Amino acid sequence: TPRTPVLLLGRCLALLLLTGAASGEDILIRGGTVVNADRQFQADVLIRDGLILRVGPGLKADRPGTRTLNAAGKLVMPGGIDPHTHLAMPFMGQVTCDDFYTGHAAALAGGTTMHIDFALPVAHDLLAGWEEWQRKAQDAVMDYGFHMAVTSWSAKVAADMAELTKKGVNSFKFFMAYKGALMVNDEQLLQGLRRCKELGAIAQVHAENGDAVAEGQQRVFDAGITGPEGHALSRPAALEGEATARAIRLAEFVGAPLYVVHVMSRDAMEEIGRARQRGLRVVGETVASALSRDESAMWDPDFDRAAQFVMSPPIRSKEHQAALQAAVAGGVLQLVGTDHAVFNSTQKRVGRHDFRIIPNGVNGLEERLHVVWQELVASGRVTPSDFVRLTSTAAAQIFNIYPRKGVVAEGSDADVIVFDPAMEHTISAASHHSAMDTNVYEGYRVQGKVVTTISRGRLVWHEGRFNITRGSGRFVPTPTHGPLFAGLERRAEPEQALLDAARYGGVPVRRAGDQPG
């Protein structure tokens, strides 16, 4: 049966317009424990005009009509920032079915108050892609930023990257997979890495060996395997490890920081760990699905169930899952996103006779905070402060919008959640707020729940009800030259090091014009 979230949201909106409660009121959160990435402490939080006005003990509501929330026994944390989403994205012949309205509503219900979406070029044109994603975001209900994918190379692409940094894009994604579609080759990647370094922008990679994936897919399909399990079989972890290592080496070669998106395997994670041990500026992002789901679902006899789990790189075995959890707890990987890219059952069915054309992507924008809490905090692997860092602060810092976002502090945007660690709940497509008809977390039990979400000072989700306004979300520009670039200019230029290496041991180099001797 078709679900009607838009209708439900529409009703909530009508209610909101009647009560006129959208903005203007102060909010006082009393008696809670504020949890930031650096520490947790008892404090009240007073919110006014979209900002956090005061954080401290015994705050009083000094204006009439202040909305007071009792947070005794609850945690008051910065809203989640999802660094990796694909709302309303055309991909593999379909368009992801959560747009900037349904996706944002879902996010807010799960305590995420900002995301950074991947804009795609239109016919390889970056600025056209930017325009297109601006249009999509007119429906925004919460704050958002953009990464831009780079899917080709030319002088125009290089110029457009500079143009986009002026508009507030500080990160560019290069796909090393999706051959014949989004994939770039090593030469294009190198050019892109060099340009990112020049611009002070973050180079991001989808690290899988796309040539080998295409071959693996053909071999598995030719062997007669057509179902979703073919997806898992055809692109093993080695291909992710190889591309991750290659991207790291190429970034090292040009001296650029590197951000590896959706780390799904031990292989890729260990490459990142080694790079960091060597002092390289490499950031690893994993996703909620990799920390909590495993590949066995792709063998489910029910195609619809199995196909839901098809994303790239693939969700892997429990052993990979455990290694990734440990790496997040141990600081080898720095943050957790979702890669929310949702295709409903009808859309997934396009690939019912060929796993190669099942549109890739899983849900998570609404579930991420709860899943990370359950897997990592409820299990005792990380502290609540680590949780805040992994789901919010690290993204704000890396993408250079901290402390505007990512912390409960005076002067910061009032993107704040109240989390009740005692409230157990179960995730289900029947009760989620995404436009999806399925949920890869169906039946997943969570100890704890986001009970209140405040987005730039507006109470948008409270006690199970929305209070949202279409178009109220704002673009948050992400400035270049963030922390990943601090002091980078003082490091020896790798290309100079290449020339220096030729002189090691006092061996002179032969230069153009020298007499051969």
Q: How far is the CB of 361 from ligand URP (least distance, A)?
A: 4
- 12 makes contact with Zn ion (CB under 5 A): yes
- Taking the least distance from each CB to ligand URP, the nearer of 240 and 413 is 240
Would you list the DSSP string of 56-93? Answer: ETT----STT-EEEE-TT-EEEEPEEEEEE-TT-EETT
**Interaction pattern, residues 346-375, with ligand URP; x per rule: CB under 6 A:** --------------xx--------------
- Which residues in the 446-505 window bind Zn ion by CB under 5 A? 466
- Which residues in the 215-234 window bind Zn ion by CB under 5 A? none
Tokens 């929310």 appear where?
340
- Taking the least distance from each CB to ligand URP, the nearer of 341 and 451 is 341
The alpha carbons of the chain give a radius of gyration, in whole angstroms, of: 23
Give ∠ CA 312-313-317 in degrees, rounded to 5. Answer: 120
- Taking the least distance from each CB to ligand URP, the nearer of 78 and 337 is 337
Beta bridge partners of 237: none
Strand, coil or helix: what is 119?
strand
Q: How far is the CB of 311 from ligand URP (least distance, A)?
A: 3
Q: How far is the CB of 344 from Zn ion (least distance, A)?
A: 18
Phi and psi at residue 464, to the nearest 5° = 85, 10
* CA neighbor of 327 nearest in space, from 319, 317, 316: 319
Return the one option of ligand URP, Zn ion, none that residue 8 interacts with (CB less than 5 to 8 A, by type): Zn ion
92 with 360: CB under 8 angstroms?
A: yes
Q: How far is the CB of 266 from ligand URP (least distance, A)?
A: 18
* The binder of ligand URP chosen from 82, 143, 240, 339 (CB under 6 A): 339
- 258 makes contact with ligand URP (CB under 6 A): no
Q: Locate 150 and state its tokens.
A: 């780079």
The strand order across the sheet containing 51-56 reads: 51-56, 44-48, 27-30, 67-70
28 with 47: CB under 8 angstroms?
A: yes
Cα 485 to Cα 498: distance, rounded to the nearest angstrom:
21
E strand residue ranges, 176-219:
202-206
Q: With CB under 6 A as the rule, give the number of residues binding ligand URP.
A: 8
- 248 makes contact with Zn ion (CB under 5 A): no
Residues 6+ away with beta carbon under 8 Å from 74: 32, 33, 418, 419, 420, 421, 451
- Taking the least distance from each CB to ligand URP, the nearer of 204 and 400 is 204
389 with 368: CB under 8 angstroms?
A: no
Longest dimension (CA), the chain: 90
* The binder of ligand URP chosen from 183, 311, 388, 395 (CB under 6 A): 311
* The binder of ligand URP chosen from 36, 312, 344, 393 (CB under 6 A): 312
Q: With CB under 5 A as the rule, give the number of residues binding Zn ion.
A: 5
- 392 makes contact with ligand URP (CB under 6 A): no
Q: How far is the CB of 207 from Zn ion (least distance, A)?
A: 9
- Which residues in the 328-347 window bind Zn ion by CB under 5 A? 339
- Which residues in the 68-97 window bind ligand URP by CB under 6 A? 86
* The binder of Zn ion chosen from 30, 74, 197, 206 (CB under 5 A): 206
Q: How far is the CB of 5 from Zn ion (least distance, A)?
A: 8
Q: How far is the CB of 18 from ligand URP (least distance, A)?
A: 39
Q: Locate 96 and state its tokens.
A: 């992801």
What is the sign of the dihedral through the CA atoms of 233, 308, 285 and 336? negative
CA 295 to chain centre: 21
- Taking the least distance from each CB to Zn ion, the nearer of 180 and 301 is 180
Residues making contact with Zn ion (CB under 5 A): 8, 12, 206, 339, 466
Residues making contact with ligand URP (CB under 6 A): 86, 206, 311-312, 339, 341, 360-361
